[in-house]
Chains A and B, each alone.
Chain A
Amino acid sequence: MEYNSIQELLELALAEETTIAEIVLKVEAEESELSEADVKARMLENLKVMQKSIKAGREKKIESAGGLVGEEAAKMSDYIAGRPGLLYLQAVTDALAVAEVNAGMGKIVAGPTAGSSGIVPAVVVATGEQLGKSDEEMMMSLFTASGLGYVVSRKATLAGAAGGCQAECGVGSAMAAGAAVELHGGTPEMVVHAFALALKNLLGLVCDPVAGLVEVPCVKRNGFSASHGLTAAAMALAGIKSVIPPDEVVLAMTEIGDALPASLKETSKGGLAVTPTGEKIACRLRK
């Protein structure tokens, strides 16, 4: 069994009358010649690291290497303490938390990349907790996210340096949207439409990190992308479809990424990086 596009992934799930997560798990077990139990154990390790990074980011102020970020999750955490039950706010907080842990040289799961590592954990854990799902169920939804991201890695890119931030936070958000639909028990079709809806709306997002560091705008962008993924999931669960099919959205992403100038692809030679404040910060840090 194999899949080279989102469409193929969907068709396999429909043909086998199962979830996308199960297909991704099966194919990975076949490919790596490991048992499904071993593959699951490895994914569970990812989930554990994600949960720990959320906790670490929420609990204490992080000192990032560049010093530009570090208090975002703590501030959000205080703010939402009086507003329980709001899924969005929890996801935003958790995404900030993980992105800060990353900026502060903490342990994270680089999924799809280190810079965008807060989105998937935040959406999966917040949704999972809200729905009272077990770790096993949350872990399975990570397979959904991985399968979707895997197709993008094969057909396009997951590197900001090659495709801009649409390839990192955009894809992260789309992967997370798919996982959230899976957790809600949505159909495989809903999963792929959630993916397409989320990615579509972040097309064109540029990569312009201040001083070349994974801090500004990256950390807050993780928070926004998490809420974005949840929005896409909700739309898909409501039965809304992406008019442009998922694989074509990925194609569009590639084309846009190619059209983006090098200055907006991680070189810090354009966008926010060259604003007066961005330049000032870069100058100060270079010393």
Chain B
Amino acid sequence: MGIFDVMGPIMIGPSSSHTAGAAKLGRMARLLFQREIEEVDIYFHGSFADTYQGHGTDRAVIGGLLGYLPDDVRIRNSLENAEELGLKFKFHTVNLRNVHPNTLMIELKSKDNSLSVTGSSVGGGSIVITRIDNTKVRMIGQLPTLWILHKDRPGEVGIITSVLGNYRLNIAYMQVLRNKKGDQGSCIIELDHKPNKYLINYLENMDDIKQVRYLPPL
């Protein structure tokens, strides 16, 4: 925390956890999906479920999904803007088990793809993404982050990290995840510096890499 976390951030009210944090969660989901969103279902849990209208949490999430930052005044009119753009959205309340009181789940659909992202707003506008589809993750969006889907085979992660090394990128934090042995693996890499587009291109074109998503710091 620095002084601009105390005198700041500049944001759209009324609540850093219920509005600014929600906008960040929506934006993260958009960046993870990186496809044209046709339809989205948003499930509010806990305190979000109780007060999402009064805090504009609904408008904030949709705003984030449209790519707005937490200080973008368009958040106020995000529902109308989404309708105009033809984005179909629906809000639901759910009871997710064992999660932070301010948690929401976003299900995104495009023509031939879908993705589910779960995350919590943990106070002061800070967020954490806890689940992508069925995989438990931990992403806080404060550092430049890469989410890479790859073939789960020996040495794959080493190859990825050495590519990053070649581009002189220092890894701050890394998680390696997989669903089943030998199936698809994924890793989340938080970097000290922003990667350039050449690196992302390079990774995307590697044989065993299926997908690369870059999430700039929020």
Residues of A within 8 A of B (CB): 24, 28, 31-32, 42-43, 45-46, 49, 64-66, 101-115, 117, 120, 142-143, 145-147, 149-150, 153-154, 158-159, 161-162, 211-215, 285-286
Cross-chain contact A107 with B71 (CB below 8 angstroms): yes
The total of chain B residues at the interface (CB under 8 A) is 33
The answer to whether B6 and A215 touch across the interface, beta carbons within 8 angstroms, is no
Chain A residue nearest to B102 (CB atoms) is A161
Task: Please report the C-alpha to C-alpha distance between residue A275 and residue B33 in the assembled complex, in whole angstroms.
Answer: 45
Contacts A107-B73, A153-B1 given; does A65 touch B53 at CB 8 Å: yes
For window 1-34 of B, CB contacts with A under 8 Å fall at 1-16, 19-20
Could you say which residues of chain A place their CB within 8 Å of the CB of B12?
105-108
Decide: A212 near B11, CB < 8 A? Known: A105-B19, A146-B3: no
* Residue of B whose beta carbon sits closest to that of A282: B50
Residues of A within 8 A of B8 (CB): 46, 109-111
Count of chain A to chain B residue pairs whose CB atoms are closer than 8 Å in the complex: 125
Task: Tell whether B158 is near chain A: CB-to-CB under 8 Å.
Answer: no
User: Which of B16, B54, B76 is in CB contact (< 8 Å) with A212?
Assistant: B54
Which residue in B19, B50, B54 is a CB contact (below 8 Å) of A66?
A: B54
Name the contact of B14 in the complex, choosing from A24, A162, A215 (C-beta under 8 A): A215
The answer to whether B4 touches A42, judged by C-beta atoms less than 8 angstroms apart, is yes
State how many angstroms separate the Cβ of B34 from the closest Cβ of chain A: 27
Q: Please tell me if the beta carbons of A113 and B16 are within 8 angstroms of each other in the complex.
A: yes
Q: Tell me the complex Cα distance, A168–B33, Å.
A: 36
Given A115-B14, A158-B124, A214-B55, 16 further pairs, Cβ under 8 A: A32-B2, A64-B14, A104-B13, A105-B56, A105-B59, A108-B13, A109-B9, A110-B9, A110-B16, A111-B8, A117-B13, A145-B7, A146-B7, A161-B123, A212-B55, A213-B14
Q: Main SS of the interface on chain A?
A: helix
Residues of chain A lying within 8 A (CB to CB) of residue B2 = 28, 31-32, 150
Across-interface contacts of A158 in B (CB, < 8 A): 6, 124
Q: Which residues of B contact A285 (CB under 8 A)?
A: 51, 53-54
B102 to chain A, nearest CB (A): 10
Whole-angstrom CA separation of A214 from B173 in the bound complex: 36
Contact between B14 and A102 (Cβ–Cβ < 8 Å)? Answer: yes
